Amino acid sequence: MQDLAIETNRLTRRYDGLPALNRVSIQITSGSRIALLGNNGSGKTTLLTILSTLLQSSEGSATILGYDVAKKSTALRNMIGFIRHQPMLYENFSPVEDLELFAKIYRVSDAREQIRRLLTNVGIWHLRDEAIGTFSRGQKQRLMIAKALLHKPKVLLLDEPEIGLDQSGLRVLDELILMRKEEDSSPITVLAATHREERVDTWATGFVRLERGQIIETTLSENTE
């Protein structure tokens, strides 16, 4: 059996007693690229936010690469990259300043070279000294892609990563994350919520479809424990 990157067991989250996520059990193997599908309010963001360690589940458990998400360990956080639909950037910093701070936090070695390479790859190296607050939504999203990859995470959680991206931005997203050619022996596992279902066939190795917080269709083997 292949190594599991993400495993949830009856994961449930309630808001004011109403379940936003209801007993979701999935197993995602290492290196998979899984599309998380569903209408607005189906629980996609809630699932990703719990897995990112930002939100506590009400019931059930989740592990990423064997680490319990609820314990929020440093080791786990070093292995996760998260892009959500709102940017997570210092608006009055330049991209280099923002990335340098987070490179320090994640203890990235050779940070300057890594930042130069990433900003070049996402196509905003020429904006490296401009204030992020002046960026368009698409430029911010490109920067978020660079930021998520900065510490070389093993698991990427993406919440509608296509938002704001034009055609060339989508190509960047595909090349760097969704259709990335693995360069080393430890591949990235991707769980990405998306409304762009027409694109899913080009990058996903499987999918999970949620409705009202429950899985209604999936290509994954469900955790039945």
Partner 1 sequence: MTFTTQLEIGLKLFNANLKQAWRDKTNWMTAGMFAITALLLYSFAFNLTGGLVRNLLPGVIWTVFLFSGIFATAQSFQQDRQNGILDALKISPIHPMTIYIAKTLTNILMLLLIEFALLLGATILFSEPLFIPQLLLIVTIGTIGYTALSTLLSAINLDRNNGGLLLPVLALPLLVPLLIASVEATSASLQEEANTAPWILLLSLFTIWSAAIATLMFPLAD
For partner 1, the binding residue among 15, 18, 41, 54 (CB under 8 A) is 54
Strands 214-218 and 67-68: unpaired
Nearer to partner 1, 54 or 179 (CB): 54
Per the structure block, which two tokens stand in for 148?
A: 């998520």
The Cα–Cα gap between 55 and 106 comes to 21
Interacting residues with partner 1 between 79 and 138 (CB under 8 A): 80, 82, 84, 86-93, 97, 101-102, 104-107
Q: Is 146 left (phi over 0), alpha (psi -120 to 50) or beta?
A: alpha
Per rule CB under 8 A, is residue 68 in the interface with partner 1?
A: no
Least Å distance, CB 49 to partner 1, is: 9
Nearer to partner 1, 97 or 211 (CB): 97
Nearer to partner 1, 79 or 170 (CB): 79
Local structure of residue 218 (DSSP, 8 states): E
- Looking at the chain, the number of H-run helices and the number of E-run strands are 7, 10
Least Å distance, CB 2 to partner 1, is: 26
Local structure of residue 225 (DSSP, 8 states): -
Interface contacts to partner 1, rule CB under 8 A: 52-54, 74, 77-78, 80, 82, 84, 86-93, 97, 101-102, 104-107, 147
